Chains A and B, each alone.
Chain A
Amino acid sequence: MNKYTFTVFLLLALVAPHADALSVFACEPEWGSLLHELAGDTIQVDVGTSALQDVHVIEAKTSLIAKVRKADLIVCSGADLEIGWLPQLIRQAGNSKVASGPGYFLASDQITTLEKPSSLDRSEGDIHPQGNPHFQLDPNRVLAIAKALDARLVELDAAHAAEYQKRLADFSTRWSAAIVAWQAKAAPLKGRKVVVHHLSSVYLNTWLGMEQVGALEPKPGVPPTSAHLASLIEITKSSNALAILHAAYQDPKPGEWLSERTGVPSVTLPFTVGGDDKSKDLFGLFDSTIDKLLAAVK
């Protein structure tokens, strides 16, 4: 091998370090974490948002367009959660691989959603016609999505099919065991009542048997008003609520205000991967969520 050939090889290696690795854009951190469980370092994952951002109102930033431009697959929640920015990203990126077809994976298409509104009217706030899109807090749905997502990875990258299948089997085993453990641990939460910030914890409530008695936002997407908060004092007290819940990305002040007046603790849930120190992956997310809820029981 002469010097010239060597230089060419070196250049090629520099230009295309991951030429064969599948490049995936995940709209939210939970899907980034799931992709890591299912593919490890076999694929290259870019996550578009963080747990401290409100994914309803992300802007179609140029950095996101650049990421979508390079992607072979985009993985998003769907159910109109990203309607204010994802269509713009796809249209501006000019990447036909992810505009439709196998490169376009919406988690909401793989599962059934809750809270599908029977009538649509914006006087009810920013409602989602396809149901509540915050289903990452139901581990059963996460598993269903994992299976569908793994099939998609296999479809797009058959060369690593065995790896994806092996990792899915491993993840399913660990995840199913974890669900049993979480359910056992969370037994004291059953039947407890909670006040939520935004209607974003219906899946968690349904799974753990908790009941929502009020929401800090008068309508989805409409910021809490003092009059509405005042109206929640009575119900929060009389229902012996366990906690006032809000996600890491939401303003803690309205919840704290209500907490001061009712004595019911205000609890910040991580909501997704990265929402607190313990939520480093999907397992940590559920560990932390249940621990924080149980801490309110004591």
Chain B
Amino acid sequence: MKIAVQIPVLMSAVLLNAVAGGTSAATVSDAQLQALDERIHALETESAKLREQAAAALAAADAARTELEKMKANLQAAQQSQATAAVAAPAQSSGPSAGGANGNAFNPGIAVILNGEYAHHSLKPDNYVRAGFPLVDGTGPGPQGLSLGESEISFAANVDDKFYGQLTLSYHDDNGSVGTEIEEAYIDTLSLPDGFNVRAGRFFSNIGYLNSHHTHTDSFVDRPLAYQAFLGNQYGDDGAQLRWLAPLDFYLEFGGEVFRGENFPTNGANHSGVGAHTFFAHAGGDVGTENSWLAGVSMLKAKSTQADDGFSGDNTLYVADATWKWAPNGNTKDGGVTVRSEYFLDRRDGTYFTPANPPVLDVNGNPIDPALFLPWTGDRRGLYLEGVYRLNRTWDLGYRYDKLWAANNGPLASDFDPLRHSVELTWRNSEFSFFRLQLSHDEPTRNTTDNALYLQYDVSLGAHGAHKF
């Protein structure tokens, strides 16, 4: 800066000298002129030198400024990358030590469901009969008064890179027979290519909608009448499942299962212990951001011997299910409506015996006195339709219509078709707990009515569940 100011000063000094020389030109000698000329020349040289120096200094200043800016930028970049580095995860995270002393680090995720209820029935549960549909274990109106519902504990974890395993133990209390049972115990594949999944072990079949869902995710205290009548609330058995998901823009899944055939609606583990098999297809997708749907068709085919409802022979069950969910902005936990329906067609071709008085069998499993057997051939049907309105994250309100159509002929023929209406109100404190009030008006036969009130609590502890849609 200083140098730049000096230059004009210097220049004006030179000029001044030149003008001064000019005014006295008439009186000066050649020698003086010569001397003056030399001086001007010297000054010019000096000024040029100074100009050069000034330019050099300017260039140096420029260079310094560039350097400074570069340093500033570097500093900023350094600060930036420092800020980024400070938040970046260390490359070597402090995992378990090489000694591997912590044996609990790989414990499976443990989830506990606690569930209890109070029920009041206007019709004594012991006197409850459903026209055309014998009650099998665990179904029906449930106990009067206070009882522990299905409380369960499950363990789940990835086994290795190829398998996932889950074990669910449940406490149950069916008509006084208390016990713990293995509800589910299965492995899933994780690494089959192209959308294939295989499951093996004991598990709930993927037929219908509700069947593969655990009851604590239901919107009502008890299962629909059709699930009670045709699947004993929920069909699970020992078997294997293959599913394939099509590589499409929407959801399209096909699958099939083979089961031992030991649990209702089948029994007896026929066909050398492969007594039941299923097929199912589900499709689903979104309509805009606020609507989602899921629909499916399923079939269960089994050969049964003395099932809980007294049936022996070939039974086939067809299920069609449809679910529609609407929620503002797709926030299903904060509001919206869920409508769901499932339709059942149950086809029997076999014989019936009174379960309370089973016939004596010969060594081949055939009844010694065939007269005790009645032919049971024909169809029964069932349906439920439910709608749940979610007011907000805390409250929801629902209505369910239940209907069963009994057979017109055969051992269980009835000209009355059972019917039930239920309403429920649920209060949730968090994702992990809810309390539910349910009122039901049930007409199981032409002459009986059961008005019921249920109060239920349901909480989950431990590992955070990830539920199916």
Chain A positions within 8 Å of B, measured between CB atoms, are: 49-50, 52-54, 57, 59-63, 65-66, 69-70, 80, 83-88, 91-96, 99-100, 109-112, 122, 125-126, 135, 138, 140-141, 143-144, 147-148, 176, 179-180, 221-223, 249, 251
Contact = CB atoms under 8 A, between A and B. Distances in A.
Contacts of B164: 91
Q: Which 7 A-B pairs have the closest CB atoms?
A: A62-B284, A62-B251, A144-B88, A96-B191, A88-B466, A52-B329, A140-B83
Interface stretch (B2-10, B242-250, B304-312): B242-250
Given A93-B245, A96-B190, A96-B193, A143 B84 contact: yes
Contacts of A223: 392-394
Interface string B47-90: 00000000000000000000000000000110010011111110
A253 B269 CA distance: 59
Interface residues of B, number: 60
A50 B329 contact: yes
B17 interface: no
Given A62-B293, A99-B190, 7 more contacts: A54-B334, A84-B467, A93-B195, A99-B191, A122-B432, A126-B432, A140-B86
Contacts of B188: 91
A63 B285 contact: yes
B464 interface: yes
B89 A100 contact: no
Contact of A94 (B84, B243, B432, B461): B243
A93 B325 CA distance: 21
B87 A111 contact: yes
B136 interface: no
B430 A63 contact: no
A200 B329 CA distance: 20
B466 A52 contact: no
B197 interface: yes
B331 A249 contact: yes
Given A52-B329, A53-B330, A60-B468, A126 B430 contact: yes
Contact of B251 (A63, A135, A140): A63
Contacts of A93: 195, 245
B209 to A, nearest CB: 12
Contacts of B193: 96
B30 interface: no
Interface string B224-265: 000000000000000000011101111110000000000000
A50 to B, nearest CB: 6
A53 B429 CA distance: 20
Nearest to B335: A251
B432 to A, nearest CB: 6
A176 B250 CA distance: 40
A110 B87 CA distance: 9
Contacts of A69: 195, 245, 247
B87 A66 contact: no
A142 B283 CA distance: 37
A94 B189 CA distance: 8
A111 B88 contact: yes
Contacts of A53: 329-331
Contacts of B393: 223
A66 to B, nearest CB: 5
B360 to A, nearest CB: 48
A179 B80 contact: yes
A273 to B, nearest CB: 15
Contacts of B284: 61-63, 65
B469 interface: yes
Contacts of B85: 144
Contact of B466 (A60, A95, A147, A179): A60
B192 to A, nearest CB: 6
17 contacts: A52-B331, A60-B466, A61-B469, A62-B251, A88-B467, A94-B244, A94-B245, A96-B193, A99-B191, A111-B87, A112-B87, A112-B89, A126-B430, A140-B86, A141-B84, A223-B393, A249-B329
Contacts of A180: 76, 80
A66 B285 contact: yes
Given A60-B467, A251-B334, A221 B430 contact: yes
A99 B159 CA distance: 13
B114 interface: no
A65 B468 CA distance: 10
Nearest to A140: B83
B172 interface: no
Contacts of B169: none
B125 to A, nearest CB: 36
